[in-house]
Structure 1
Amino acid sequence: MASGLLFNVLIFLAAAVLIVPVFKRLGLGEVLGYLAAGVVIGPSVLALVPDAQGVLQFSQVGIVLLLFVIGLELKPSRLRVMRKAVFGFGSLQVSVTTLLLALAAWWLGLSPAAAIVVGFSLGLCSTPLVLHLLGERKELQTRHGRHAFALLLFQDLAAIPVLAIVPLLAADALMTNGATPLLREVILAAGAFAGLIVGGRFLLRPLFHYAAATRSREVFAGTALLVVIGAALLMELAGLSMALGAFIAGVLLADSEYRHNIEADIEPYRGLLLGLFFMAVGMMAEIGLLAEIPLVVLGLTLGLVLLKALSLLIATRLYGGSWKEAANLAVLLSQGGEFGFVLLSAAAAAALLDQSLVSLLILVISLSMVVTPLLFQLHVHGLRRLYAPSRTKPTYDSPRDESPQIIIAGFGRFGQIMGRALQGLKIPYTVLDINAEQVEVVRRYGNKVYYGDASRIDLLKAAGADKARVLVVAVGDPEASMRIVEQARRQFPHLKLYARARNRYHAHLLMRAGVIHIVRELLPASLELTRDALVGLGIPPDQAQHTIDTFRPHDEEALMRQLAVFGNEKKQIQTIQEAARELEALYEADEDIATRVEEIPPRPH
């Protein structure tokens, strides 16, 4: 038993290592490589791993982890902004696509009920495939990337009631059993959905706070996997999508202070299992049918891709999208999806569709998934250039390692002041900034700045991070700052880290990541202005400075106490209120400060 399992693992790893790099080198992408590897080792070719269905079911965990990570990137406020795209654009696209495909299926001889099920099943797209293609090209945050994600999310939601209705459509089940089974499914699903959201909101933060307090990375990673798989299973037991449950869990943790750590711990599992999923899809393809009836299979595949592309063009234009966005979506979402396997299999089990037809349609879906990466590559390097703007995005510079003592990440207003001081002292330093326009402006004034993302290990190394002594993280965006800090601590542990904190929350994140030298960007300037304002009220300059000097260490001590209860909102509020009362008492106990405040002349009427 154990040897058989190890043999299967060996086969999967060998196929991935031997085949996927070849496809990447040819510029065809990882997804197509995994699909091809699955075909080679599957039942249709070498039959090294015969149980394709079992592998596919296990590899669904990869999709679950993928949706969880995407949920981590979507804060609830941003999701509320997307609701129009999800339900407006999503319902429009599903309606148009289902109508066109159902009409085609009916024209080919299926009954109306069967045609609708086939039309909807083929109209669903592959969430992991599309998101992987967008992620490879870093296009998830583009307009077409956001709309593609909205469509995929709506399709996952829409597939649930259809899956519940399929058995009722067969043999007049609805007439026989009435609407009670369907109503029961809806109530159960709604209860599970509400339970996950309410329970997650109150339980997830304390759970991760408890895991983080153990200071064990294994316990923390285990907690993350527990939450993901638990949410997925809850949704599946209620008849909903496992991926939807994981996505909701991710969204509930998107505002959490643990988000970066969770994402880092989940990432290795997600990548491996997602690759396994694509290999399982390749194994599911019955290549024998392609040899028996090649014209039928290829004709249906071509028809599916063309009809879905046409429906997406129509839906995008009706929604008000540009031809550019419509073309991007038409190519990205022109394939069938993994949920189509589930719906078609359910239709066959309910005797609504013939098993031979289902096998043929599953092969067509698999081939459409194989074709999509090729079409996307052709689109990117061909059609997209016709409407691409004349100005291309500059490529990252290749910094020269000139043995700097200091590397500055981010050269805005904050970093430039430090750079001027270092230049005056003739201390060698290297600057990395991700804002291309800012780099051009700074260069015009004679500063040596490289355009690049400081969170990338290769750019940091090229800039001399392995020899430098200090890394100053001066970027204003807290998320970008934390990515740089995490990479630097992992890859260049010898570097002394100095960081700019945007606010107290950012400062706490940096402190939890092990950064000791932190400057809150507004603190020095605000304290200086407070001192000047006190002088303006009539307090002598030395006494005003004494007031500020008293405030600063008290504030630092309060910051450390708040760090100890980080993530516990109730205790955070309590600590802040206690610190405010302590400061008042501190000032009242200081006779010099109290006397000078009492001597402030009254406001003139």
Structure 2
Amino acid sequence: MFTDLLIILACSLLVIALFRRLRLPAVLGYLCVGLLVGPSALNWISNSQDLPHLAELGVVFLLFSLGLEFSLPRMLALRRTVFGLGSLQVLTCGAALSGLLYLYGLSFGSAALLGLGLALSSTAIVGKELNSLGEVFSSHGQNAIGVLLFQDLVAVLLLSVVPLLADGSGEQAWYWSLPLILGKTVLLFCGLLLASRWLLPRLFREVAEAHSPELFVMLALVIVLLTAWLTHLLGLSMALGAFLAGMLLGESHYRHQIEADIRPFRDILLGLFFVSVGMLIDLRLFTEHGGLILLATACLLGIKGLLVAALVRLRGESGETAWRSGLALAQAGEFFFALVAVMSQQKLLDADTSRLLLAAAFCSMALTPLLLRLAPHLAVRLRQVQGQPSSLEDIASHGAELSGHVVICGYGRVGQSIGRFLQREQLSFIALDDDPVRVEEASAGGDSVHYGDSRRPELLVAVGIARAHLLVVAVDKTDVALHIVQQARQHCRDLPILVRTRDDSRLAELQAAGATEVVPEVLESSLMLASHALVMLGVAEQRVQEHMNQVRGSRYRLLHGFYHGAQANLLDARGQPRLLLHAVNLPTGAHACGRNLGDLQLESLGVEVQALRRDGEELGLGASAQLQEGDAVLISGPLQAVEACESRLLGGS
């Protein structure tokens, strides 16, 4: 078992790193690892009995995390989705797929079981992708989660029916099993509800007061595993119990800390689950029956996707919610692999058919992350077509009426705030934005906003930048802002351009492209707080304003860098090194002692000297400033440059 885990983790490390660079979902990477190390390819992994049980814990932790995001009122509001849409989805998809399998030549009982098994979807894949895409609370996300919860109940029932079908008898018929399962679920829910109201808050309060991260993590793990174990004892799905426990804990003050603590365990164990799924597939089938597998995969995705979309549409929801719900639930689920294994053991399914069905189910699961990732882009394009975005002629006709106006590129939070102040002063403006829903909402509110990509030069001409008094670039992507500034400057050399950015990492580029003023949000908020603090301390407002103007005039040099903590992320959102602030104290015998600041050429290393302090007082930063023992040199720059500078100051290297 230890060797198998080592091989899986080592291969996953390499493959997931590659998939991250290719911007492919990590789920596909884990599935590929399972294919590679499994018995049909490299055969590096033995048939370990412990791996599937360990991998199943990944699904348990995932459902617990999803439960933390749902409050009890939200869950009660989903009851129509869980039992209404969920039951209709299982029945309609199960009937259609069962009929198809019966026509393929399977017996009626086997076809019915397999059809219902294929009607169930992958909780692990759908839950993980919706979570990573931030779509859990979207309309289609809640449809998917609600249906998946009902499917967990159906999965338990189907596994109990298999032995009855195998020998024709059993301790209980299915019509007794179903109410028993529902009763156990209600009993479990009530027990967890009482525990979440009276016991767990006291436990977490005691642990939180101890200020011990180890105890907090341990308690979170115990809760997840304990609820899964209790559910298993009741004969229910462990994942269902974990979801209920997470949902009830989601109303506590500790849910964010719990979610952060269990995330590493969840992601690693969930990765093992996808690896174990990939190991079940025989690669030789794709060479022998590739066409049949592709046809079966297409039929599965098409039938389930269309039926789910039709059911959601009949409920009165929008067309986009319908087809995105269909995409989310179109694949086969991990339960189908367990069902096929049980049916094979009971001699209800021959080996060739089971392998073909498993391969088709695997392909549908492998395609799902890609389909879910492409869905938002497809949705945007469909909205553009349905919304009939403003034509160039319409924009030009509106822009022709304006002169001395303001052009706003990007009508998000910042753009709208600027627009409101302009309206207060009765200053005319025209805005461009590439979100059709936002444009529709803003237009309905009476704002002069048009759909379009602000990087297109013909659109900038159409909104009349040649007659405008000011161009405000309020988009949230610096690359897009840079392109807009370049295009605008080519048409209007004297037009003032105000650019909003997140920070000042590309301030020089924007100014070189022609931006008149660049306002970094993070640094400006720091300036505002500092100015308020100084005024509240009694510093004259005129002196405070002089300080602010000086900082802005020096391109925010005073604010460059920060003292990093033990857990600081040294990379920004683009993966580039952050600017750090670091103080180098010169001991006796340091290379810099007795030398002038200019002679050391520290700027050539990629750092900025922010301050030179001696005995608590700041000295001038001129090139002739001579360094002495005990001086503190405050420098800012990327980590590598800071380390090189410190090395030169202390050792001369």
The TM-score with structure 1 as length reference comes to 0.64
User: Is 2:205 the counterpart of 1:209?
Assistant: yes
1:273-326: CA deviation from partner (whole Å, max 9, x where unpaired): 112221221112122333333233222222212211222222222222222122
Structure 2 residue 70 is the aligned partner of structure 1 residue 74 = yes
Deviation of 1:137 (Å): 2.3
Which residue in 2 is equivalent to 1:287? Answer: 283
Match of 1:321 among 313, 317, 320: 317
Cα distance per residue 1:347-405 (max 9 Å; x no partner): 33344333443333222211211122233344444465123565427535643349999
Residue 257 of structure 2 corresponds to residue 261 of structure 1: yes
Q: 1:151 to 1:176 in 2, by over 3 A?
A: closer
Q: Partners in 1 of 2:230 and 2:526 — Cα distance?
A: 43
Change (3 A) 1:223 1:294: same
* 1: CA distance, partners of 2:73 / 2:228: 23
1:15 matched to 2:11: yes
- Contact 1:34–1:278 (8 Å) recurs in 2: yes
1:398-417 map, 5 Å: 398-401=501-504, 408=525
142, 146, 158: which one aligns with 1:150: 146
- Specify which structure has the bigger relative contact order, considering alpha-carbon pairs within 8 angstroms and separated by 6 or more residues: 1
Alpha-carbon distance change, 100 to 179 in structure 1, aligned in 2, over 3 angstroms: closer
Mapped contact 1:36–1:282 kept (Cα < 8 A): yes
Decide whether the 8 Å contact of 1:24 with 1:33 is kept in 2. Answer: no
Secondary structure at the counterpart of residue 572 of structure 2: helix
Q: Tell me which residue corresponds to 1:124.
A: 120
**Aligned match of 2:476:** 395
Provide the rounded CA distance (Å) in 2 between the counterparts of 1:78 and 1:266: 23
Q: Is the 8 A contact 2:327 2:368 kept in 1?
A: yes
Name the aligned partner's letter for residue 476 of structure 2. T
- Determine if contact 1:164/1:182 at 8 Å carries over to the other structure: no
Secondary structure in structure 1 of the residue aligned to 2:169: helix
Query: Aligned partners of 1:178 and 1:47: how far apart in 2?
Result: 40
Report if aligned partners of 2:571, 2:577 keep a CA contact under 8 Å in 1: no
Partner residue in 1 for 2:89: 93
Shift of the alpha carbon at 1:15?
Answer: 1.5
Partner AA of 1:69 in structure 2: S
SS of 1:239's equivalent? coil
How do 1:433-448 and structure 2 match up within 5 A?
none
Q: 1:230 to 1:457 in 2, by over 3 A?
A: farther
Residues 460 and 220 of structure 1: CA distance in aligned 2, closer, same or farther (over 3 Å): farther
Which position in structure 2 is the counterpart of 1:458?
572
Matched, 1:63 2:66: no
Asked whether 1:368 is paired with 2:471, we answer: no
Structure-1 residue corresponding to 2:219:
223
Instruction: Measure, in 1, the Cα distance between the counterparts of 2:113 and 2:79.
Output: 26
C-alpha displacement of 1:188: 5.0
After TM superposition, the structure 1 stretch with the greater mean CA deviation from structure 2, 204-213 or 181-190, is 181-190
190 and 257 in structure 1: CA distance in 2 versus 1, 3 angstrom threshold: closer
The within-5 A match list for 1:182-581 is 190-382=186-378, 384-388=380-384, 391-392=434-435, 395=476, 398-401=501-504, 408=525, 425-426=544-545, 428=548, 458=572
Q: 1:161 to 1:200 in 2, by over 3 A?
A: farther
SS of the aligned residue for 1:336 comes to: coil
Amino acid at match of 2:118: L
The alpha-carbon distance between structure 1 residues 28 and 95, as it changes in their structure 2 partners (threshold 3 A), is: same
- Separation of aligned partners in 2, 1:196 and 1:405: 44
3-state SS in 2 of match to 1:173: coil
Matches of 2:521 and 2:581, distance apart in 1 = 8
Cα distance in 2 between the residues matched to 1:75 and 1:193: 14
Q: CA deviation at 1:174?
A: 5.3
Structure 1 position 39, deviation (Å): 0.9
Alpha-carbon offset, residue 328 of structure 1: 1.4
- Amino acid in the other structure paired with 1:198: L
Aligned mates of 1:278, 1:404 — CA distance in 2: 41
Secondary structure of 2:301's counterpart equals: helix
How far apart in 1 are the matches of 2:117 and 2:314? 23
Write the distance in 1 (CA, Å) between the matches of 2:526 and 2:168. 67
Contact 1:34 1:279 in 2 (8 A): yes
SS at match of 1:278: helix
CA deviation map 1:123-144 (0-9, x unaligned):
1111121122222322222211
Quick check: 1:130–1:332 contact (8 Å CA) kept in 2?
A: yes
CA distance in 2, matches of 1:419, 1:169: 76
The answer as to whether partners of 1:313 and 1:327 remain within 8 angstroms in 2 is: yes
TM-score for both structures, normalised by structure 2: 0.60
Residues 189 and 374 from structure 1, CA distance in 2 versus in 1: closer, same or farther, beyond 3 angstroms? Answer: closer
Separation (CA, whole Å) in 1 of partners of 2:39 and 2:50: 13
State which structure, 1 or 2, has the greater radius of gyration over its C-alpha atoms.
2
**1:435 corresponding residue in structure 2:** none
Q: Is the 8 A contact 2:101 2:115 kept in 1?
A: yes
Matched letter for residue 301 of structure 1? T
Q: Distance in 2 between matches of 1:194 and 1:289?
A: 47
Cα separation, partners in 2 of 1:407 and 1:73, compared to 1, 3 Å:
farther
User: Structure 2 regions of 5+ residues with no counterpart?
Assistant: 390-433, 439-474, 478-499, 505-518, 550-568, 583-653
Please give the per-residue CA displacement for 1:17-49, whole angstroms capped at 9, x wherever unaligned. Answer: 221232233332211112112211111111111
**C-alpha RMSD over aligned residues:** 3.7
Residue 66 of structure 1 aligns to which amino acid in structure 2? L
Asked if the contact 1:36–1:279 (Cα under 8 Å) also holds between the matched residues in 2, the reply is yes
Q: Distance in 2 between matches of 1:61 and 1:409?
A: 44
| Greater fraction of residues in helix | 1
Name the CA shift for 1:398/1:282 in 2 (closer, same or farther; >3 Å).
farther
Please report how far the alpha carbon of residue 183 of structure 1 lies from its aligned counterpart in structure 2 after TM superposition. Answer: 6.7
In the alignment, the residues of structure 2 paired with residue 177 and residue 264 of structure 1 have an alpha-carbon distance, to the nearest angstrom, of 43
C-alpha displacement of 1:177: 7.3
2: CA distance, partners of 1:343 / 1:410 = 62
Kindly indicate whether residue 144 of structure 2 is the aligned counterpart of residue 30 of structure 1: no
Q: Specify the alignment match of 1:579 in structure 2.
A: none
Does structure 2 conserve the Cα–Cα contact (< 8 Å) formed by 1:42 and 1:52?
Answer: no
Letter in 2 for 1:458: D
After superposition, the C-alpha distances for 1:385-438 in whole angstroms (9 at most, x for unaligned) are: 123565427535643349999774999xxx999599698733659xxxxxxxxx
Q: Count matched residues.
A: 438
SS in 2 for 1:458: coil
Instruction: Name the CA shift for 1:187/1:51 in 2 (closer, same or farther; >3 Å).
Output: same
Q: How far off is 1:121 after superposition?
A: 0.5
Q: Which moved more, 1:47-56 or 1:17-26?
A: 47-56
Residue 105 (structure 1) aligns with: 101
**CA distance change for structure 1 residues 34 and 215 in 2, over 3 Å: closer, same or farther?**
same
Structure 2: distance between partners of 1:410 and 1:245: 50
Indicate the percent of aligned positions where both proteins have the same amino acid: 36
CA–CA distance in 1 between the matches of 2:328 and 2:157?
25
1:50 aligns with 2:72: no
